[in-house]
Amino acid sequence: MSEPHELTALGQAEAIRRGELGPVELVEHLLRRVRRLDPEVGAFVTLTPERALDAARAAQRTLGDTPHGELSRLFGVPTAIKDLALTAGVRTTFGSQVYAEYVPELDDDAVTLLARAGTISLGKTAVPEFGLPPYTEPTGRRATVTPWDTRLLAGGSSGGAAAAVATGMVPIAHGTDGGGSIRIPASVCGVVGLKTSRGLVSRGPLGGDPLGLSVSGPIARTVTDAAAMLDVLAAPVLGGPFARPGRYRQGEYLEAARRADPGRLRIGRYATPPLPGVALDPACQSAYDQASTVLTRLGHEVVDMAGPGIELDAATEFVAMFEVLWAVLASGDPVPADAEHLLCPLTRWWRAKAERVSGTEFLRAAHAAQLVSRRIIAAHSAYDVVLTPTIAQLPRPVGWFTEGGDPAWDYARQVRFTPFTSIYNITGQPAVSVPLSWSEPGQAGQLLPVGVQLVGLPGADRLLLELASALEVAVPWSDRRPPAW
């Protein structure tokens, strides 16, 4: 058998069911891997080895008492939880020094569902403060970097999750995405990251946001692993504020990914950044062109579209609307007045902007978001799937966003880095980033992964996974390994 970390999540689960690998043996192996690799990568903020080993021992006992056909497809598989998700009894910092010692008393629904399926969390993955920027460089701890070139940031805000998966510390990891936070680090780290349809995965019992910008979803090395994890996360939970897209059938996402045959699709594409003054890096253009060629070769009709459904002259209004919503959401985490000084400059900047937003202005921005969503979804409805670059630039160096200490400059760089992702948090559409391409060697002579984004209509998560799996069959990527592997 291959080394345990070489196996996919589904491969690890199958080895456990066959008795070739024990849950305790697997957890111990991956914990050793975390201790060896993480000092350089910075994927984990909190490691929970004893808790993980206790869960592995319990899984071992369950294997002896339960018919294997009744076990989850991911039973016994190690994973990790993003540090924005409440985890009962485990330090959950939200990437902030304000919450450096916070230990919640309850789990997010995603944490509950993953544990119920028999997956075993090794700990909490690193995030920027409150998940606000698209990079993971929290105050007071080392930056999270891409294992392909450790001078470069891993993206964010699920940067720790993507880095952990890319290095084989875990085969799958939980992420959340409020403006690109799963897709951006997936592109930077060379893994698969799915932003799910609004309402598909519960953000309860406390969480999410009242606008539904942020969703939970899987990060994995393969599409089938991501699909298997989504089958766990998408289990219905009563009381959600958003309508669930479609009916739930256990195993439907993995079935679709394994089928890898969505039929002939009409695929729209655009690569012009939909925000003014933003340029596309040639490597991102090349990845987009390659994806277009592969999709055409697979028999799909690939046609150009003018953009996402908003013209450039309206994009400034879109940015202003998004900034109002993001600022108010950024102020939602309670911070005691005597702890404000612990916040990083960017968080203070967003919270100060929120203080200037009246209730009327927020309501107008929320209404504008609904109007623009209708326009964008209407434009996309002429196609089964839409193709775009995931990000507009290659990974940025550590300190690139924050140099100079000006949050406004930091945010301006964020916009230039990732103009393609937040649109689909506004609309609630599903979108997946797949690592179809690698750049030419950089200064260190190392290839860098470059993702492309596939976007579906609301509720089309299954179709996206089936198409992404077909791409993976045509241009396999999971055998590519970063230097730290």
**What totals of helices (H) and strands (E) does the chain contain, helices first?**
15, 11
Catalytic residue, from 96, 181, 214, 373: name it.
181
What one-letter code names the amino acid at 388?
Answer: T
Q: Is 202 noted as a catalytic residue in this protein?
A: no
Q: What is the pLDDT of residue 313?
A: 61
Q: Is 94 within the bounds of a domain?
A: yes
H, E, C per residue of 248-315: CCCCHHHHHHHHCCCCCCEEEECCCCCCCCCCCCHHHHHHHHHHHHHHHHCCCEEEECCCCCCCHHHH
* Residues 193, 183: Cα–Cα separation, whole Å: 5
Q: What is the pLDDT of residue 446?
A: 76
Q: Is 3 within the bounds of a domain?
A: no
Q: What is the pLDDT of residue 333?
A: 84
DSSP code, position 152: B
- Residues 184/391, Cβ–Cβ less than 8 Å: yes
Q: What is the pLDDT of residue 2?
A: 81
Q: Is 195 noted as a catalytic residue in this protein?
A: no
Give, in order, the Cα–Cα distances in Å from 278 to each of 33, 194, 265, 382.
39, 24, 30, 26
Q: Is 268 within the bounds of a domain?
A: yes
Catalytic residue, from 82, 124, 195, 353: name it.
82
Q: Is 482 within the bounds of a domain?
A: no
| Paired tokens of 135 | 């990079």
Q: Is 396 within the bounds of a domain?
A: yes
Q: What is the pLDDT of residue 312?
A: 59
Q: Is 323 within the bounds of a domain?
A: yes
User: Which residues have CB under 8 Å from 336's CB, separation 6+?
Assistant: 98
Domain count, the chain: 1
Structural domain containing residue 296: 8-474
- Look at residues 261, 252, 385, 274 and name the one whose alpha carbon lies nearest to residue 319: 274
Catalytic residue, from 96, 157, 331, 433: name it.
157
How do the pLDDT tens digits run along the chain, 485 residues long? 689 999 999 999 999 999 999 999 999 999 999 999 999 999 999 999 999 999 999 999 999 888 888 899 999 999 999 999 999 999 999 999 999 999 999 999 999 999 999 999 999 999 999 999 999 999 889 999 999 999 999 999 999 999 999 999 999 999 999 999 999 999 999 999 999 999 999 999 987 688 999 999 999 999 999 999 999 999 999 999 998 998 889 999 999 999 999 999 999 999 999 988 899 999 999 999 999 999 999 999 999 999 998 875 677 788 889 999 999 999 988 999 999 999 999 999 999 999 999 999 999 999 999 999 999 999 999 999 999 999 999 999 999 999 989 999 999 999 999 999 999 999 999 999 999 999 976 555 678 999 999 999 999 999 999 999 999 999 999 999 999 89
| Paired tokens of 400 | 């690139």
Q: Is 479 within the bounds of a domain?
A: no
Q: What is the pLDDT of residue 484?
A: 82
pTM of the model: 0.97
Backbone angles phi, psi at 189, to 5 degrees: -100, 0
Q: Is 163 within the bounds of a domain?
A: yes
Backbone angles phi, psi at 191, to 5 degrees: -130, 180
Q: What is the CATH number of the domain that holds 154?
A: 3.90.1300.10
Q: What is the pLDDT of residue 21?
A: 97
Q: Is 469 noted as a catalytic residue in this protein?
A: no
* Residues 412, 389: Cα–Cα separation, whole Å: 19
